Amino acid sequence: MKRIVILISGRGSNMQAIQQACRAEGWNAGVAAVISNVPGAEGLAWAQAQGLSTATVDHRAHADRATFEAALTAQIERHAPDLLLLAGFMRILTAGFVERFAGRLLNIHPSLLPAFGGLHTHRRALEAGCKVAGATVHFVTPALDHGPIVLQAAVPVHGDDDEARLARRVLAVEHRIYPQAVRWFVHDELRLEGGQVRHRDAAPQWLFYTGDRA
Ligand code: GRF
């Protein structure tokens, strides 16, 4: 039984998608804790209502990144995770933290990496005139929004899109690919070969959104 710890900063809709898939599909895994760096983050209430263990490590209560990360690490280690997930966790993590959890630390980013790492991905994709946007689940390495790609989803960009509409379309596919990536990880279906992630049975590591103009 693999133990999953999820870090959030806000709404936590990806965390919800993962917890729901885990429960509904009876994965050989469980969410051991949900930890937020923001007191009162929306996702914490949902997690508590599910009976999940929750905690808050407020970054503003710490003098610097090092003490914040030490407190966060202590809180995480209490749950001895096999897998640590960043799900809308809005703090940059140091190389030391990332290396501690190397190989068992995943993130979701709302762009087709390596394009548009960092913030305001949808605005930047629209400004660049992109015709396709998407989301990426990847293993975390010390470089921000980099690291071996597990799974990507592409969605169309429509001429009349604004940031909010594009974000909604991308979020809908995030809720499909993050649970998929975690499902693969907990069932040992992923292999890291030459710095790239391969699925054991060559399952497609992409998803193309085929709905209409949602
Ligand atoms: C998602 O778009 C995720 O890709 C990004 O932040 C957003 C978090 O949303 N890193 P939620 O908190 O999972 O609802």
The predicted-structure confidence for 71-125, as pLDDT tens digits, reads as follows 999 999 999 999 999 999 999 999 999 999 999 999 999 999 999 999 999 999 9
Distance from residue 192's CA to the centre of ligand 1 (Å):
25
Mutation probe of ligand 1 site: the residue of 16, 124, 171 with most atoms within 8 A of C-beta = 171
DSSP 60: G
Q: What is the mean pLDDT of the chain?
A: 96
- Is the domain spanning 1-101 CATH 3.40.50.170? The answer is yes
Is 1-101's fold the same as 108-214's? yes
pLDDT in tens, 34-68: 999 999 999 999 999 999 999 999 999 999 999 99
pLDDT in tens, 176-213: 999 999 999 999 999 999 899 999 999 999 999 977 66
Q: Report the nearest-CA residue for atom 1 of ligand 1.
A: 88
DSSP 80: -
Phi/psi at 190 (5° precision): -105, 145
Domain boundaries, the chain: 1-101, 108-214
Query: What's the fold here for domain 108-214?
Result: Rossmann fold (3.40.50)
